[in-house]
Amino acid sequence: MVVACQLVKAGKADAFVTAGNTGGALAAGIFHIGRMKGIQRPALITPFPTNTGFCLLLDVGANVDSRPEHLQQFAVMGSIYSRRIMGVASPTVRILSNGEEQGKGSQLVLEAAELLEHTPGITFLGNVEGRDIVNDLADVVVTDGFTGNVLIKTAEGVGKLIRTILVEEITANPISSLGGLLAKSALRRLARRIDDSEFGGAVLLGLSNPMVVAHGRSNANAVRHAIRVAKQAIDLKIIQEIQTGVQEIADRAGERQSEIA
């Protein structure tokens, strides 16, 4: 991983793709590829299934502890990624909290929400609860890396549990087995709807070059799409667009400070 990241830093490669240890990949990317100018904390962004497709969730593990301004940058990076990679014309942003009402949440959520309401380049719609993410209430959901990581791992565990129980019940007796056979095509469509392998993996946004971290259990199709996502990020100049978005935040903050002074 270190050698690969050093090759990217030296300009001998344009992106880094791995299905290895996430912690090692993050460390190698941050220390050897480096953050882009103005980015305080890179964030892992990943697709999360919803009723009609997928939304984007970040951070999902790069930063255990975050500050409000970090979540503000996550929202900008997520919006740009949603627009350029996911094809959403006007992506909406919400912040993960323990209640949908304004004023609900930790001190981090409250302060970040205040910043997001005045952030240029994003459409912020307030809080969203974990149970409502699947209801298409936002195209981008921002949170700290600890909460985001717990959320996706819990979702993965629940999904695995449901699949296990479904198989056990379908094969419990001849009649249910026959029903399962009749529903085979529907079950395949269900699997495709919640399969995120075509997105390749989590992208570490905020580095000076694209980096994609695929799941350790990625199959050939997932690895193929991880490489495709990295190339797409290069072709669509995601890094340059994020840099511009972050600079707009800095300029706006400077203007506000001048007005206060």
Give phi and psi for 146, each to the nearest 5: -65, -50
Per-residue pLDDT of the chain (261 residues), as tens digits, is 999 999 999 999 999 999 888 888 888 998 999 888 888 889 999 888 888 888 999 989 888 889 999 999 999 999 988 988 888 989 999 999 988 888 888 999 999 999 999 888 889 999 999 989 989 899 999 999 999 999 988 888 887 888 888 888 788 788 778 777 777 787 777 666 666 666 667 889 999 999 998 887 778 888 888 898 899 889 988 888 888 877 777 777 666 656 555
- Spans of all domains in the chain: 2-260
Q: Which helix (H) or strand (E) holds 27?
A: helix 22-28
Phi, psi dihedral angles at 97 (to 5 degrees): -150, 180
Residue with tokens 């979702």: 155
Tell me the CATH number for domain 2-260: 3.40.718.10
For residues 110 and 105, give the distance between their C-alpha atoms in angstroms, rounded to a whole number.
6
Quote the pTM value.
Answer: 0.83
What is the sign, positive or negative, of the torsion defined by CA atoms of 12, 16, 21, 22?
Answer: positive
